[in-house]
Structure 1
């Protein structure tokens, strides 16, 4: 990650934090920043990384790793099945049941803070521009959307009962080098079929560059005012998908193809099922098309007011980092 001298840097010396999903794109970035700010960091993921104090474990069964919670003051719960391509029962098992069990283990261990990663997907795919934390969530049959709404209810109920201090974070579309919002589109752009975007790419993408997101999260970790609150963290802008993914198209020389939403959604379901049946990992589904066809963006005024959060890395700056990373890793030409 890049660093900026203007970035807010609360002191976290003396804090001990455990991250679920610690090996993921966001988990690794969060771990690195916490350590840079003086915190002791532990993690749990399906695959261990003992060099970074990450133990192997399943969030649906904390009994095998709950001893890692001893002495922890804050849990950051990032582990989830991401996207709408999973079966509802599988998404519920990880995103809702897993959250409930990690939360219970944290309470039993005497952890004081639980920071839960939700998503802006909880507003559904059809909402007024500028929705904020006071706006209602909207179940819509998408497995990811609905299970994230359910998981929020689990953790906020524990906070209301006085069992543990909870903060819910609703990240925007987190992007940057190595992110799924970069790797997957670059892969699709290379294919003869191109990157599919519904409705001419007119849908609104709500990016949050990884450094900006981690800035906001560190402010939440450090802030007592964040307990019991819900925060949207994004770059504070919404851009048409054709503009955001157009950056990736230009650097890769790939192809973007568009279809009306009425055709794109069912076609994505069919294509995604076929690809997954043949063992290829694919996020193609109607839920992905819904995400790429959202009518508006989300307000970060609460994060600005309460946390003094301000996103510093612009899309152009972030894309420069992405392009360099993609060239260095052979994903695009030199």
Structure 2
């Protein structure tokens, strides 16, 4: 490129968007225009002197407006970061870039990604703007809320668990590798109107991911409970029943509090003070209508809860291919999983005050 292009970054305040801006600015690759939802979203990128804009492109209607605006402005290409969950949380072995999208899924986020891709496919058919879609699965790295900080928090709280010991495939992509893929997708000649699975290109299991985080924060991964997949349906069913019972107890407690407050207030208004003195010791009995303590496990710690969505992710047995991305994008992930884990570990120790 003879001169720096102008690149607009929607979702500039998010985990990936922030890293993309840093990557572009520090390498002097482009004139970057961050697009954020609110003024407070500028905090992370405020250290750069950038020409920012306010807009919200989270819903499908806003996505279509963004496409139309790009067409009017003469934008050549739009790179959309979708997710590999368009093929399900545990894609079937043999899943590839052209596999059909899985529209019927039990999780709203997954369905929203399918709908967004379908809308963009219809829009790009007019040829006004080229659209390249990237589908990462597990994006981790410094500032990752879900796949770095959340795992660390669960490990430290004793709330982490691994399905079948973590032998399932975890299709990771380090954030810098995703940013590299986004930049390649913006310029590769053969990428126009194509869809790409992107990952680290290594066989990484869920145990590998948890072990890397555990080592960084000083937790023994061998102590993480293993949940056999054969027992999962019964366990999830028991959790649903327990959740309903807990909701009932919370309602009863709230009802008891309300009844107590109502009765006491009424008594104060209509009863003589001498009679009130006799009744006061009994007021606490109303509170017992809903008295309840949190469900706990051994040693008073919260009982282990298996997240249904996480269990589905950890059941994956397919390594998603990146051959098409390598061939058409020139994708060559610059950061191996081990190095990405090392960098993430350093950030986690800082965040959790463990250094």
TM range (shorter): 0.7 to 0.9
- Residues 100 and 151 in structure 1, CA contact (< 8 A), matched pair in contact too: no
CA distance 1:217–1:266, shift in 2 (3 Å): farther
Q: Which residue of 1 aligns with 2:233?
A: 262
3-state secondary structure, aligned to 2:98: coil
> For the residues of structure 2 that align with 1:230 and 1:271, how far apart are their CA atoms?
42
CA distance 1:270–1:304, shift in 2 (3 Å): farther
TM-score, normalised via structure 1 length: 0.75
3-state secondary structure, aligned to 1:239: coil
Is 1:305 the equivalent of 2:327?
yes
Deviation at 1:272, TM superposition (A): 9.9
**Match runs of 1:223-238 below 5 Å:** 223-238=188-203
Is 1:185 the equivalent of 2:151?
yes
Is 1:30 the equivalent of 2:20?
yes
Is 1:44 the equivalent of 2:43?
no
Is 1:100 the equivalent of 2:41?
no
**Match runs of 1:124-273 below 5 Å:** 124-139=88-103, 140-180=105-145, 181-192=147-158, 194-254=159-219, 256-259=224-227, 260=229, 261-263=232-234
> For the residues of structure 1 that align with 2:240 and 2:54, how far apart are their CA atoms?
33
Is 1:286 the equivalent of 2:286?
no
CA distance 1:223–1:270, shift in 2 (3 Å): farther
CA distance 1:122–1:165, shift in 2 (3 Å): same
- My pick for the range that moved more, 235-244 or 47-56, is 47-56
- Matched positions, count: 282
> For the residues of structure 2 that align with 1:236 and 1:289, how far apart are their CA atoms?
23
Q: Comparing both structures, which one devotes a greater share of its residues to helix?
A: 2
> For the residues of structure 1 that align with 2:75 and 2:243, how far apart are their CA atoms?
40
TM-score, normalised via structure 2 length: 0.71
Q: Which residue of 2 aligns with 1:333?
A: 354
Q: Comparing both structures, which one devotes a greater share of its residues to strand?
A: 1
Q: CA RMSD in A?
A: 2.9
Query: For structure 1, which runs of at least 5 residues remain unmatched after alignment?
Result: 1-10, 60-79, 81-93, 278-283
- Residues 251 and 332 in structure 1, CA contact (< 8 A), matched pair in contact too: no
- Residues 12 and 34 in structure 1, CA contact (< 8 A), matched pair in contact too: no
Deviation at 1:213, TM superposition (A): 1.5
- Residues 198 and 264 in structure 1, CA contact (< 8 A), matched pair in contact too: no
Is 1:121 the equivalent of 2:85?
yes
Deviation at 1:264, TM superposition (A): 5.8
> For the residues of structure 2 that align with 1:42 and 1:267, how far apart are their CA atoms?
50
CA distance 1:57–1:324, shift in 2 (3 Å): same
Larger Rg over CA atoms: 2
Q: Which residue of 2 aligns with 1:67?
A: none
Tell me which of the two structures has the higher relative contact order, counting C-alpha pairs closer than 8 angstroms and 6 or more residues apart.
2
CA distance 1:28–1:12, shift in 2 (3 Å): farther
Deviation at 1:229, TM superposition (A): 0.7
